[in-house]
Amino acid sequence: MEPKKNPKADLTKNSSFYFVIGLFAVMLFTYVAFEWKTYDKSNDYDTSMNVDDLLDEEVPMTEQIKTPPPPPPPQAPEIIEVVEDEEEVEETVIESTETSQDEEIIEVDDVVVDEMDEDLDVPFSVIEDVPVFPGCEGASDKRACFNSMIQKHISKNFRYPEIAQEMGIQGRVNVMFVIQKDGSIGGVRMRGPDKNLEKEAARIIDKLPKMTPGKQRGRAVRVPFSIPITFKLQ
């Protein structure tokens, strides 16, 4: 005998319908889960928009600038009484200081002004009476004789320093000195490329003889003089 199934007990009869309903429910739940938003509860709020509190503050009133009161009006001038000039006032007579032709002119003796004895330095090129080198007393042109004798003196006493020769040092030394009022030589200064050459130039100048001092307006003065001394290796 074969068993018979009840048609109501067939579970596969509406299976597709139940599948569609389940799929829709799952999709709806998924959509709601993604779109669901949550917010944290917080009491923070922006106080910058609270205008009511700012309006309640009292605003200080600007003090009024006090201006000083105007000065009082000037007083009315006193009444000036006119008094008649009854007293005579003596006038002061100013006498003229100009002389007339009738007055005698008293001659005054010439005033003698003592010349101050100052130490004047007169360059060799402009002095009236140049210093006289020994041996130039009878020369007509004492200036040219002086220059010539100076050159002879340098050539006669010239010695090239040995240390300068060994080191190959050469050049020109400018020598400045002063012929004093007594004819002696002083104030010697040198400028050259080497101290050994300067020392030799000073030695040559120190050997200059005493001279007759130069004169300006008949008075002995100091005469600066400069001359170059050349050191050249042969």
> How confident is the model at residue 20, as a pLDDT?
81
Give the max Cα distance, the chain.
199
> How confident is the model at residue 186, as a pLDDT?
92
> How confident is the model at residue 113, as a pLDDT?
47
d(CA 159, CA 85) in angstroms, rounded, equals: 105
Q: Which of 177, 191, 174, 190 lies closest to 121 in space, CA to CA?
A: 177
Q: What are phi and psi of 104, to 5 degrees?
A: -85, 140
- Residue that is written with structure tokens 């004093």 in the block: 180
d(CA 154, CA 175) in angstroms, rounded, equals: 12
d(CA 211, CA 88) in angstroms, rounded, equals: 84
Q: How many CA atoms lie within 13 A of 160 on its CB side?
A: 15
Could you report the per-residue pLDDT of 6-27, keeping only the tens digit for each? 656 565 667 777 788 888 888 8
d(CA 154, CA 160) in angstroms, rounded, equals: 12
> How confident is the model at residue 6, as a pLDDT?
60
Q: Which of 220, 227, 214, 225 lies closest to 130 in space, CA to CA?
A: 214
**How do 219-220 and 223-231 pair as beta strands?**
unpaired
Q: Helices (DSSP H) in 48-141: which residue ranges?
A: 51-55
**Distances from the Cα of 163 to the Cα of 159, 195, 199, 206, 230, angstroms:** 12, 11, 12, 21, 16
d(CA 63, CA 58) in angstroms, rounded, equals: 15
Alpha carbon 20 to chain centroid, angstroms: 102
Q: Which pTM value belongs to this model?
A: 0.49
Mark the ranges of the chain whose per-residue pLDDT is less than 50: 45, 47-55, 59, 111, 113, 116
Q: Which domains does the chain have, with CATH numbers?
A: 142-231 (3.30.1150)
